Homo-oligomer: A and B are copies of this chain.
Amino acid sequence: MIKGEQIIGFGYSARGKETFYSFDPAEQRNTEYLFHKATPEEINLAADRAAAAFQVYRKMDGAEKAVFLSALAEAIANSGEELIKVCCRETGLPPARIEGERMRTVNQIKMFATLLREGSWVNARIDTGDPDRTPLPKPDIRSLHIPLGPVVVFGASNFPLAFSVAGGDTISAFAAGCTVVVKAHPAHPATSAIVGELIQTAAKSTGMPDGIFSLLFDDGIESGIQLVKHPLIKAVGFTGSFKAGKALFDIAAGRPEPIPVYAEMGSTNPVFILPGAARERAAEIAAAYAASVTVGVGQFCTNPGLMIHQKQEDDLLQLLRSAFERTSGGVMLTPRILNSYNAGVQHHLATGGVEQLAVSATISGNSANQAVPVLMNTSSQVLKNNPALTEEVFGPTGIVVSASSKNEMLNIARDLAGHITATVHGTVEELIEYKELLDLLEQKAGRVVINGFPTGVEVGNAMVHGGPWPSTTDSKTTSVGTAAIYRFTRPVCYQNLPQQLLPPALQDKNTLNIHRLINGNWSTGDIE
């Protein structure tokens, strides 16, 4: 049921007099779902509850947390048609995309449940003591990761499920042992309310503490700022624009007690096409690039908005042009995002030396708020003189930079700021020849993709979805995959703590059967 009220722990609250409607971008009008904006008191209450629940939840073992996550995964998997319908109305995205995203969200939750059941993620390290060591006895030191505390997660506009209320940040925080307050994205509050209720129900039915989860609504920025400043909040997860992410980072750094902000911000995800690849598979590359730039109306943080190739006798530019003309536009998530998209494209096209290479010929149906895919072309020199061209324009657009030599290509790579991904297409021989390019790109990105495209982020143990500034505020973590759990933990060690008081992961007998670093050796054994 879509109540339009704040979810605070196991209760609801609607103290705020200010309200806002959820919006249907394709119809260009409000839906019938009305939401109360969270009041400062409700925000404080959610934080207080999260802090109180944290003291209970942090001590629950992996198996108990996994029961909660598994129940949630099942609930979302079985959430039926209403979620899809509401989500499509609020986002303009098609049902197949939302169904796929739901399945991805469910699989992410299951992955973390599996991680918790296995248990080795706590990174147990044991250096056993030696009371007979001289001149001083050697203490027994044992460390593992513990959760940071209550976390604030901001729902993302572009992934209403997988990076929102029950998305990667929320679930990795739950897996870490943190309690979570989610600020719903105002572009899909009804979707958020449905998922929030599923979390509330799953938490209640599996014996989690009241306050483990809250969900707050606001179509302005005040609630988010208050949450990030709240002294009981210990970390922040965010996916969105550079401007908003940077603002949260600055607020968090300026707190009396600064806290980490994991903000995934803009990225143009440069794609380098080496000459041999262009010769061998220009048509395939052109078609796949056009698809990758326009899928989901280009509203992915991994959208490859920048392609760099070398001018030569191949017909890559011509093939890109015709592939792009065959793409379709579509409804963008919000009118504001469409306005930014159009302004960004206009800005780029107004830059001297940037040419329009292709425009999509079709837009689909007669929905409102549609973006038209645009492909541009420019030279290395123009790019060098206009670094703003490497900044993200969120939507279905790309710039193809025609370099005149290997060296120009390397210089472009050298000048890049941080990106979520960087891609190279090349034959094996020329990848070896361009080793220097790969060396540069791994310093600029979280993920280096070979002969593929960056959209479609695999969820697993090895994924790194993050990258150097300004693509994220913290290149040392990932927001996708099991390693995301470490955003919300820190290590602690115990010196000479008696066995029965140690967490099970650190006791001599390895009852959890996890991998532990014992006196420098990885092992699943007991300590004799």
Within 237-291 of A, Cβ neighbours of B (below 8 Å) are at 249-250, 253, 257-258, 260
Among A125, A431, A476, A497, which residue has the most Cβ atoms of chain B within 10 A? A476
A317 contacts B by Cβ under 8 Å: no
Q: How far is the CA of A490 from the CA of B442 in the complex (A)?
A: 11
Q: Are B492 and A142 in contact, CB atoms less than 8 angstroms apart? A: no
Q: Are A127 and B450 in contact, CB atoms less than 8 angstroms apart? A: no
Q: Are B461 and A517 in contact, CB atoms less than 8 angstroms apart? A: yes
A118-145 interface bits toward B, Cβ cutoff 8 Å, 1 = contact, 0 = none: 1010000111000000001011011100
Q: Are A500 and B432 in contact, CB atoms less than 8 angstroms apart? A: yes
Task: Name the one of B55, B468, B492, B520 contacting A464, with C-beta atoms under 8 angstroms.
Answer: B492
Q: Are A449 and B249 in contact, CB atoms less than 8 angstroms apart? A: no
Q: Are B146 and A462 in contact, CB atoms less than 8 angstroms apart? A: no
Instruction: Bin chain A's interface residue count.
Output: 35 or more
Q: Which B residues are in CB contact (< 8 Å) with A466?
A: 491
**Smallest Cβ distance from A428 to chain B, in angstroms?**
5
Q: Are A456 and B498 in contact, CB atoms less than 8 angstroms apart? A: no
Q: Are B141 and A501 in contact, CB atoms less than 8 angstroms apart? A: no
Q: Are A447 and B493 in contact, CB atoms less than 8 angstroms apart? A: yes
Q: How far is the CA of A114 from the CA of B520 in the complex (A)?
A: 10
A482-520 interface bits toward B, Cβ cutoff 8 Å, 1 = contact, 0 = none: 010010011111111110110000000000000101011
A452 contacts B by Cβ under 8 Å: yes
Given contacts A253-B253, A515-B522, 6 further A-B contacts (CB under 8 A): A55-B439, A125-B462, A143-B464, A249-B258, A447-B495, A461-B519
Binding site for B on A (CB under 8 A): 55, 59, 114, 118, 120, 125-127, 136, 138-139, 141-143, 146, 148-149, 249-250, 253, 257-258, 260, 417, 428, 431-432, 435, 438-439, 442-443, 445-452, 456, 458, 460-464, 466, 468-470, 473, 475-476, 478, 483, 486, 489-498, 500-501, 515, 517, 519-520, 522
